[in-house]
Amino acid sequence: MDGTTLPEVIAAPALSGTDEAFDVVVIGFGISGGSAALEAARAGAKVLLLERAAIHGGTSSMSGGAFYLGGGTAVQQATGHDDSVEEMVKYLTAVSRDPDEEKIRAYCEGSVEHFTWLEALGFEFERSFLDRKAVIQPGTEGLMYTGNEKVWPFLDQAVPAPRGHKVPVAGDTEGTKLVMDLLRDRLADEGVEVRYETGANALVTDEAGTVVGVQWRRFAETGLVRAGSVIIAAGGFVMNKDMVARFTPNLAEKPFVLGSTYDDGLGIRLGQSAGGATAFMEEAFITAPFYPPSSLVKGIVVNKDGQRFVAEDSYHARTSGFVMEQRDHAAYLIVDSEHIEHPDFPLAPFIDGWETIEEMEAGLGLPPGSLAATLATYNEHAARGEDPDFHKQPEWLAPQDKGPWGAFDLTLGKALYAGFTMGGLVTDVDGQVRREDGSVITGLYAAGACASNIAQDAKGYATGTQLGEGSFFGRRAGRHAAARAVTLGA
């Protein structure tokens, strides 16, 4: 038995009249599970929330505290950034590999209301804008560009607008921890029962395939719970070496991955055990940002043939996605002496500097004359503020013609790449898990990283999408699950 084995499914007769019963059982207390449980409780359901860890938060607490929201939020309006539902729909459709139009529209149309719901947890996004290129927002400004909105071809397909809403706490993860703590408090207000160090390891189904309960485990103790509806919100599979090897082998080559201990794919496999279909399991977010400092964006990125292959002003995961497609997953950032700066925390290591392009070609093992030709073409057009090959935007164009030249290594295994999985259970807009034939599994829902929603393509990903869609679709699943369960109990 390996990490891809599906859990057993328990037949409904195993449930007895003495087993505990809840309207909704939620598996996993990250942002999606917490949001689902809160909405279910507010809809009148009796809710049980199971969490394998000893504390709430899951992988959500490891994120940068940004939520991808738009359509005219209070922060967008306060900082003078026009946005609309339609432009947000156009953008998310453009960056999706296989856009789910119903989910994208629901997310965009509900974005402003979701913004209000988040603030009602007990905090307020700062009404301010960070006007520079950053990977993780270092301060407390409430808004910044976190995707490819200003990158070709997307800027021609939708009017650009910043949609990365940062929780007003400085630091890499403190903002999301604040939200998770507030979510914990609101759940307590609603009387939601949370059981830590308790995980679900099997679903209970009846003869029709309807999910009617879960089996739980807490250390050596196990038991059954009857449920009107079950919501799986147990994270992705980045910590499951067998699933990673099968679906996203590039993640196995990196120094570290972005996930908690319990991102082992169990939630996905629970859904599959009941007949749930999966999608985008081969898609992984993998990145090693070479900025900040932003001056490095004015350099050029080339492969082992000395050729450019991506616009360097792309969101860092988009650039990294294209690196993964190059021979040997190899690439180099080339910057001249006028624009080179060394990052405080370099993820792409500095290789060396060379007095001439010919010496650099030899030092990097590039074909003779290849980089010289690439630079000559780039510099000629950049001097005119143009990039006909990759449409890098004028603000990031500058001839790289002042020697000496330096190179940073973006190669997988050399640069410090990090990543997480993006595939999961197929769901409808309300989080109901679907079978391969498209039918829904009655009583079973999924949300967050174990579900496949709008975050499906690493090249089109924007920081804040997982927190945004996880909480948004978690809420929808909670409301729908509660309505179904309460109706059954009436």
Tens digits of residue pLDDT in 307-318: 999 999 999 999
Identify whether the C-beta of residue 165 lies closer than 8 Å to the C-beta of residue 464. yes
The yes-or-no verdict on residue 258 having pLDDT over 90 is no
Burial status of residue 391 (CB atoms within 10 A of its CB: 0-12, 13-18, 19 or more): middle
Which pLDDT belongs to residue 56? 80
**Confidence tier at 490 by pLDDT (50, 70, 90):** very low
User: Which pTM value belongs to this model?
Assistant: 0.94
Residue 475 corresponds to which tokens in the numbers above?
């809420």
Which pLDDT belongs to residue 254? 61
Which pLDDT belongs to residue 205? 97
The yes-or-no verdict on residue 173 having pLDDT over 60 is no
The yes-or-no verdict on residue 232 having pLDDT over 90 is yes
Which pLDDT belongs to residue 138? 78
Tens digits of residue pLDDT in 284-329: 888 889 988 999 999 999 999 999 999 999 999 999 999 999 999 9
Tens digits of residue pLDDT in 400-454: 999 999 999 999 889 988 888 899 999 999 999 999 999 999 999 999 999 998 8
Mean per-residue pLDDT, 230-242: 93
Tens digits of residue pLDDT in 338-367: 999 998 888 899 999 999 999 999 999 999
DSSP 415: B
- Residue 235's nearest CA partner among 257, 213, 203, 219 is 257
Q: What percent of the chain has pLDDT over 90?
A: 77
The yes-or-no verdict on residue 257 having pLDDT over 80 is no
DSSP 85: H
Q: What's the full length of the chain, in residues?
A: 490
Tens digits of residue pLDDT in 186-215: 999 999 999 999 999 999 999 999 999 999
Residue 441 corresponds to which tokens in the numbers above?
């599994």
Which pLDDT belongs to residue 212? 97
The yes-or-no verdict on residue 22 having pLDDT over 70 is yes
Q: Which residues contact 43 (CB under 8 A, 6 or more apart)?
A: 478, 479, 482, 483, 486
Residue 175 zone, left/alpha/beta (φ > 0; ψ -120 to 50; rest): alpha
Mean per-residue pLDDT, 134-161: 91
Which pLDDT belongs to residue 1? 64
Which pLDDT belongs to residue 343? 87
The yes-or-no verdict on residue 255 having pLDDT over 70 is no
Identify whether the C-beta of residue 187 lies closer than 8 Å to the C-beta of residue 154. no
Q: Which residues contact 424 (CB under 8 A, 6 or more apart)?
A: 236, 268, 278, 279, 280, 281, 446, 449, 450, 451, 452
Mean pLDDT of the chain: 92
Q: What percent of the chain has pLDDT over 70?
A: 95
The yes-or-no verdict on residue 63 having pLDDT over 90 is no
Range with the poorest average pLDDT among 35-49, 75-89, 411-425, 476-490:
476-490
Tens digits of residue pLDDT in 263-283: 899 999 999 999 999 999 998
Tens digits of residue pLDDT in 85-140: 999 999 999 999 889 999 999 999 999 999 999 999 999 999 999 988 888 777 88
| Domains of the chain by start residue, with CATH | 9-63+174-285+418-489 (3.50.50.60), 66-166 (no CATH), 289-409 (3.90.700.10)
